[in-house]
Amino acid sequence: MSEQSPLSEVGEFELIEAFIGLYPQGDDVIVGPGDDAAVLRIRNGHVVVSTDVMVEGRHFRRDWVQGGDVGRRAAAQNLSDINAMGGRAHSMTVGLTLPGDLEAGWALEFARGFAEECAKVGAQVVGGDTTRGDQVVVAVTAIGALTHAPVLRSGARAGDVVALCGRQGWAAGGLAVLTRGFRSPRVLVEAYRSPQPPYEAGVVAAAAGATSMIDVSDGLVADAGHLAAESGVAIDLHAGAFEVAEPLHAVGAALNADPMQFILGGGDDHPLLATFASTGAVPQGWRVVGEVAEGSGVTVDGSPFEGPAGWVHF
């Protein structure tokens, strides 16, 4: 199979064999890809499971990101969900639909990027299914193990502090750059193409007694809203507490935008947002960015955030 071949000229089994060759298996995989199902050894009795679907044209554009980027982003999005429960990712499955005119090289780059991102946390790709479809659809399931009680969205209490771990706003800045047809600042475009979630932070937060946690994927204020709603509390974020990195200032100036819009509205960096009973409980590497109070909803410095509307048409 040549990397330039359109998939319509590639044998289905040949493509599957190529994928399997790109996915190394670890000791905790008793049966890997190729049988009716994979068999995993998960030492703890509690298994964490999450699924996300990414669709071409809706979640990514093939002219803005390469196959490897889509693979990395799809893996990161799902690994991050396990992270947000305080779990460790163990194994992944990948369902794919690919158009027949797609180059084989795109699909192989996807698999390489996917495997690369999984390797960051020691997760293995244990199964998948690939079939022809009108557009690229990536449906990933991540399976993890828990070493502590799961950290839910519903545990925040009035008086808790709100803390953030990981880059936030960089990917949204990169997307704003790409949307306007630019390719720099390159560091932001790269942040959009290849997110760097804080994969070690979820377990650490669980061990430190985080009262609630979520990964930021819909947007920081929107996801703070999920924590507030599920916990039955109000959250106030402090704009001055966030780090506004230099490239975000630069892109804000170039696009005549407030860089805080990227930070408060952006959702593709997958940092973790969590609540802790006190500032003293917040682990190293986390930044306190707000507080929990009685009530409902999310405010920024006491005022509603003027971001995208919450009601989303299907």
Binding span for its own copies by CB under 8 A among 121-129, 179-187, 191-199, 253-261: 121-129
Nearer to its own copies, 7 or 300 (CB): 7
User: For residue 120, which of 176, 200, 50 has the smallest C-alpha distance?
Assistant: 200
Q: Do the annotations mark residue 36 as ligand-binding?
A: yes
Which residue from 47, 158, 207, 253 is in contact with its own copies, where contact means CB under 8 A?
47
Contact 213, 151 (CB under 8 A): yes
How far is it, in rounded angstroms, from Cα 230 to Cα 159?
16
Which residue from 23, 75, 81, 108 is in contact with its own copies, where contact means CB under 8 A?
81
Q: How far is CA 227 from the centre of its chain?
A: 17
Q: Do the annotations mark residue 170 as ligand-binding?
A: no
Position 232 contacts its own copies (CB under 8 A): no
Q: Do the annotations mark residue 278 as ligand-binding?
A: no
Please report how close the Cβ of residue 76 comes to its own copies at its closest, in angstroms: 14
Q: Do the annotations mark residue 153 as ligand-binding?
A: yes
Site for its own copies in 148-167 (CB under 8 A): 150, 152-154
Nearer to its own copies, 201 or 245 (CB): 201
Which residue from 17, 122, 135, 147 is in contact with its own copies, where contact means CB under 8 A?
135
- DSSP result, 216-249: -SS-HHHHHHHHHHHHT-EEEE-GGGS---HHHH
Neighbours of 303 (CB within 10 A): 9
Q: What is the DSSP letter of 6?
A: B
How far is it, in rounded angstroms, from Cα 251 to Cα 185?
7
Nearer to its own copies, 41 or 183 (CB): 41
Binding site feature residues: 36, 50-52, 59, 81, 128-129, 153, 215, 217-218, 268, 311
